[in-house]
Structure 1
Amino acid sequence: MEVPAVLQELVLVLGVAVVVVLALSHLRLPTIAGLIAAGALIGPGGLGLIHDAARMTVLAEIGVVLLLFSIGLEFSLARLRRLWRVLLLGGGLQVGLTTLGVSVGAVVLGVTPARGVFFGFLVALSSTAIVLRALTERHEVDAPHGRLIIGALIFQDLCVVPMMLAIPLLAGQRGGAAALLGVLIKATLLVVATVVLGRTVVPRFLKDVAATRRREVFILAVLGLCVGIAWLSALAGLSLALGAFLAGIALADGDYGHQALADVLPLRETLSSFFFISVGMLLDVRVLMERPLLVAVLVLGVLVLKALVGAVSAMVMRFPPWVAVLAGLGLAQIGEFSFVLAHEGALAGLLSNEEQRLFITMSVLTMAVTPLALHFGPRLAAGAAHLKRLEALIGAHGPHHLEESHSDGLSDHYIIGGLGTAGRLVTRALRESQVPHVCIDLDPEVVSEARRRGESLYYGDITSAEILEKAGIHRARALVLLLDDPLGAARAVSAARRLHASVPILVRVQRLGDIADLRERGASEVLAGELETALEAVSRVLKSAALPEEVVLRMLEDLRRDHHHGDGAPEPPPPPPALPPPPSRKEGPERTEYRH
């Protein structure tokens, strides 16, 4: 019996990928970097073990579709509305400034203006798949720099269509403007139709499917909706990935969004891995050997330019320098849709075959560097204070440049950092209990919405020593950090501890691995989402078994202590004082509202 060639290739790809990822994991390098390295090793430009990457490309495209579909499932329309400012302003600045910079540089080097603009299009796009996967692995999707990056990536995906339709115009062909207008109309109709179907037809359809109580039927229905809307998107001239993202948004607001996400995740992780492997297969080692200096200069130039543009765009939007640095690093690479643009540009005569080979090789190298840049980004962001001069130069005063407030009269209060779900609940409890407090958040949309509700909220960067001083950290009863950004929480703890050696600090984190670092920085109490959820489940099970309350509490304390110190590591030094008991209640205590 003859073994199918595709099966042999799959065994080879999967085997090499596992070995390479395991080897690089010992060096604490990201999984994505290992997958790209595996593809480069077995691809036509490496050992040549896989000569035809077309089969892998099909699986890779499906993986990207599922990746964008799952991201859309996590972005409801309400959440997307919160990103409109970041999407339009941040994304517009990033794409516009990058295109302008590359175009001017190309013209200075003797390239025609039309080809210069096309080169700018190629460089302006970033890799949605690589960056979103990295942010998801690091639990930074909801962090300030994560929201900036995602907004810019969505805007870039929307720009792919007009860029594609602008190619005939740049090449001197006719009919491009009419085609652009037609596709924009189709795109608008597709978005409207997707939203309407997501609110009306899709929920009823999924309700009937769920009523069968057959999980496999539900999975098929969800995948059918995803692929169907992506296919309609392609027919309208848009990208498959953008259509899949719209399909996810259509399901996100319904009753079945969470179940759909849970069912799609295993397929997404598997198939999206093929995308990163296929990117590595595009690397042409011969180009590196023939022109190593030119490739190095181009890669370094693109990374520096895009990182700088991304950082400046973030600071114009009044984000602090450390957020700007991380956002710039996240957008510094060239994206997968640039390969499609390069192919169309080559057919239109805007790019020679040699230039296309050089561009693809250089682009793959920028993609390979991105996971490493995001991995070591927090260390680079530590020196972001030097960007304050640039921030002042462009007149984008960030949240550490705020007007003086009435904090002098505030004492024995709680400082709440972050107004997510946990922050809103804590703030509501303090407000209804008439306990003095002040909230600080870095999202201007959240601040505006909260102030419309009459809540006390301060727009600022909780990691800034100046903000903490203005919030009265020296007179505060406690600092409560409920951020969705693990890096921001760590920086805030360090800043607060430098200002006040004994103020109690409570921190909420998602990952158990962050507990040790936060305690070392000076956190008094650390609540890990994973651990607290598990302990709550244990508590309910033991209580349902009719065990005495004191036995349950002792068991929970033992489990918490064993989990923190079960790895054999020495117990850390005693933390600063824990959260103090509530103060004696007074009639109508004064609350101070911070304004900027």
Structure 2
Amino acid sequence: MPEIDFLKDLVIVLGAAIVVVTALRRAGVPSIAGFILTGALVGPTALGLVDDTHQVEVLAEIGIVLLLFGIGLELSLDRLRRFWRAVLLGGGIQVTLTVACTAVVANWFGLAPGPAIFLGCVVAISSTAVVLRGLSTRGELEAPHGRLAVGMLVFQDLCVVPMILAVPILAGGGGTVQEILLAAGTALAILVGVLVAARYLVPRLLAFVARTRQRDIFILAVFLVCFGIAWALSLAGISLALGAFLAGLVVAGSEFRHQAMSDLIPAREVFASLFFVSVGMLLDVSDVLQHLASTVGLLGIILAGKFAIILGTALILRMPLRVGILSAATLCQIGEFSFVLLNTASGTGLLGATLSHNLLTAIILSMLLTPVGATLAPKLALSAARVPWLNRVLDAEPPGVDVHEPHSGHVIIGGYGLTGREVCRAVRDTGVPSIVVDVNADNVRVAKAAGNRAVLGDITQQEVLKTLGCKDARLVVISINDARATELAVGAIRKIAPDLTIIARAWYDIDKDSLYAAGATEVITAENTASGVIVQSMITALHSAKTET
């Protein structure tokens, strides 16, 4: 029976994933890489435990929709507005440079202009699923490199539609510029219409369902919103995954965000894991071994070239070197939407059979290596940060401090988020001078507008700390969202001022030991603070109830 065969394949996939991912996690390999390897092992080209991958691919499509919907829930449209610089400037520069550089190199190797430009389009797209899953797992969505990566991903995904529309022109098979512009305009109109309608209708729908107080109906409503908006946007040529991401942004702006997230997580994790397994099943292990040299060469050129372009884009945006390296390591792979481009171009002759096959293999391997590269990136960034001349040549961290202004007995505040703003207000009330340092130019402008002395700079860099007068400061408060960057900042401060008081903010208690080991005087965790507030509120409520009785 087909149903029994499908269940057998599903049991094999789930069982193998548990074994492989658990074993690799013990070796420090990220889970996403483990799922991709699982697919390669059980797929038809390796052990052959699963012959028919179609059913798994259907579940995988559901998985990527739920994954991107969940990521959208974590961000929200209001928070995404703060990324406009990363979306428009970062994404625009990165896509343009990647397409142009790839086309030039491909043309130099003998590829015609049309296929060369198409190859550039394929290479320009990073993996939204792999990158956002990794950033979310590591809690780095709000870190500077996380915001830059998300902004670039949004722009890349929006570019997929015009890239698909341009395939006939690049292949020389018809389609005028006017027809493409008309189709793009229609798609844009549908996109705007659906999002505007969803913005006003979705909160009302969820409020109506929530009043029934039936959790099962609310879950159904959340799934309806997710798949309904994704399907509606697909009519405009937008991928289901991007449509689901935009649907998540819409729901995130409502009061039902947290309940929707809690209801979605179990199903999302299972189906998203199947997506990564299905990617691994596309990998032909024997073919990789047969064409190892050409595949590895193509993969190396793609990863190195894209890494350099993304790093250059970050530096153009005046981001710190560390942020640029982390962003480049996160985004240097080729993504799942490139499969869509390759499928669209199949039969047009844009790319030869050999190049298409090697490119497909390189895409899968790049997605496999991304989690490992993201794990090693902080070490690479730390090594680069230890080369003072490199930072000076790249001019990546312009602290913008007036060196003639005295810096002593002051408070240095790293990060101007919600915590940083409260700290600034409290320090100003005491009359003690302070200075804010942040890698986000928008935060620096907001801090200055509020009457604070603020500069653009990376607090993990000793050159910046010395310019800020760290050695003569009264204390330093670090309230940035990147746990690893906080640890690096503490270590850099401690090398300059061994006796300086350092108060560091972290999200989780698990980060306290590493921060204390780096030299922090005191570590305040959001997790511990929240639990203390909850306990205090509970005790107050119990005392009030006891008094009333």
Which band: TM-score by shorter chain? over 0.9
CA deviation profile, 1:146-195 (whole Å, cap 9, x unmatched): 11111111111011011111110011122252443233223332343244
Following superposition, the deviation at residue 454 of structure 1 comes to: 3.2
Aligned match of 1:364:
364
Following superposition, the deviation at residue 411 of structure 1 comes to: 3.0
Aligned match of 1:295:
295
Q: Quickly say closer, same or farther: Cα 1:222–1:521, change in 2 above 3 A.
A: same
Q: Which runs of 5+ in 1 are unaligned?
A: 548-596
Note the 1:463-542 alignment, pairs <5 A: 463-542=460-539
Contact 1:400 1:466 in 2 (8 A): no
Instruction: Name the CA distance, whole Å, in 1 between partners of 2:174 and 2:270.
Output: 43
Note the 1:168-207 alignment, pairs <5 A: 168-207=168-207
Aligned match of 1:231:
231
Aligned match of 2:547:
none
Note the 1:377-526 alignment, pairs <5 A: 377-385=377-385, 397-400=395-398, 402-405=400-403, 407-408=405-406, 410-526=407-523
Following superposition, the deviation at residue 472 of structure 1 comes to: 2.2
Give the structure with the higher percent helix: 2
Contact 1:33 1:368 in 2 (8 A): yes
TM-score, normalised to structure 1, is 0.87
Contact 1:67 1:129 in 2 (8 A): yes
CA deviation profile, 1:513-563 (whole Å, cap 9, x unmatched): 32222111101111222233223333444455559xxxxxxxxxxxxxxxx
Q: Quickly say closer, same or farther: Cα 1:403–1:450, change in 2 above 3 A.
A: closer
Contact 1:333 1:363 in 2 (8 A): yes
Larger deviation, residues 529-538 vs 475-484? 529-538
Following superposition, the deviation at residue 493 of structure 1 comes to: 0.5
Tell me how many residue pairs correspond in the alignment: 544
Instruction: Name the CA distance, whole Å, in 2 between partners of 1:472 and 1:262.
Output: 46
Q: Quickly say closer, same or farther: Cα 1:387–1:283, change in 2 above 3 A.
A: farther
Instruction: Name the CA distance, whole Å, in 2 between partners of 1:449 and 1:439.
Output: 11
Instruction: Name the CA distance, whole Å, in 2 between partners of 1:311 and 1:141.
Output: 18
Aligned match of 1:104:
104
Contact 1:407 1:472 in 2 (8 A): no
SS in 1 for 2:523: strand
> What letter corresponds to residue 503 of structure 1 in structure 2?
L
> What letter corresponds to residue 453 of structure 1 in structure 2?
A
Instruction: Name the CA distance, whole Å, in 2 between partners of 1:38 and 1:133.
Output: 18
Following superposition, the deviation at residue 109 of structure 1 comes to: 1.1
Following superposition, the deviation at residue 39 of structure 1 comes to: 0.5
Larger deviation, residues 245-254 vs 112-121? 245-254
CA deviation profile, 1:115-170 (whole Å, cap 9, x unmatched): 11111111111111001111111111111111111111111101101111111001
Aligned match of 1:575:
none
Contact 1:284 1:357 in 2 (8 A): no
Identity %, equivalent residues: 43
Aligned match of 1:573:
none
Instruction: Name the CA distance, whole Å, in 2 between partners of 1:525 and 1:370.
Output: 34
> What letter corresponds to residue 452 of structure 1 in structure 2?
A
Q: How large is the RMSD of aligned CA atoms in angstroms? A: 2.0
Larger deviation, residues 167-176 vs 377-386? 377-386
Larger deviation, residues 193-202 vs 507-516? 193-202
Aligned match of 1:344:
344
Instruction: Name the CA distance, whole Å, in 2 between partners of 1:54 and 1:235.
Output: 23
Contact 2:187 2:236 in 1 (8 A): yes
> What letter corresponds to residue 58 of structure 2 in structure 1?
V
> What letter corresponds to residue 180 of structure 2 in structure 1?
L
Instruction: Name the CA distance, whole Å, in 2 between partners of 1:6 and 1:175.
Output: 42
Instruction: Name the CA distance, whole Å, in 2 between partners of 1:378 and 1:502.
Output: 27
Contact 1:194 1:246 in 2 (8 A): no
CA deviation profile, 1:454-475 (whole Å, cap 9, x unmatched): 3332221111222222322122
> What letter corresponds to residue 371 of structure 1 in structure 2?
P
Contact 2:60 2:278 in 1 (8 A): yes
Aligned match of 1:59:
59
Instruction: Name the CA distance, whole Å, in 2 between partners of 1:483 and 1:34.
Output: 31
CA deviation profile, 1:302-323 (whole Å, cap 9, x unmatched): 1111111111111111111111
Aligned match of 1:353:
353
